[in-house]
Amino acid sequence: MNLPTDSLIAPAKIHDYLLKHREVDDKSGFLALAGYDRSQAHLLEQDIRALLRLEAAPTETTEYVEKFTICGVLTGPNGRRLRVRSIWAKLHTTGETRFVTLYPDHS
């Protein structure tokens, strides 16, 4: 199944979560390997949105959301390719689909 191409990707999720160094569960170092940094936040958002063209696998359903995983490759500004697993949530109340997070795909 494919998720809607207009799924919500909150700018703060990119700029203040994925691309900001964190002491625990840091993703900025991984993304920096491909040249993504806070000045490249718009490129990362575009590349994450491009993952929506790929097949989404349902992974969990709660009373509030249905979660999906999309595995794919991000090609960063420096040309390096990163295998990622992105997580998306479809809200039962509104039907809206939102980007949750991504992390390296080691499978």
User: Does a structural domain hold residue 6?
Assistant: no
Q: Determine contact, residues 55/62, Cβ cutoff 8 Å.
A: no
User: Does a structural domain hold residue 91?
Assistant: yes
User: Does a structural domain hold residue 49?
Assistant: yes
User: Does a structural domain hold residue 2?
Assistant: no
User: Does a structural domain hold residue 4?
Assistant: no
Each residue's pLDDT tens digit, 69-93: 999 999 999 999 999 999 999 999 9
Q: Is 70 helix (H, G, I), strand (E, B) or coil?
A: strand
User: Does a structural domain hold residue 5?
Assistant: no
User: Does a structural domain hold residue 66?
Assistant: yes
Total count of domains within the chain: 1
Tell me the residue range of the domain where 54 lies: 11-104
Q: Is 78 helix (H, G, I), strand (E, B) or coil?
A: coil
Each residue's pLDDT tens digit, 7-62: 999 999 999 999 999 999 899 999 999 999 999 899 999 999 999 999 999 999 99
User: Does a structural domain hold residue 3?
Assistant: no
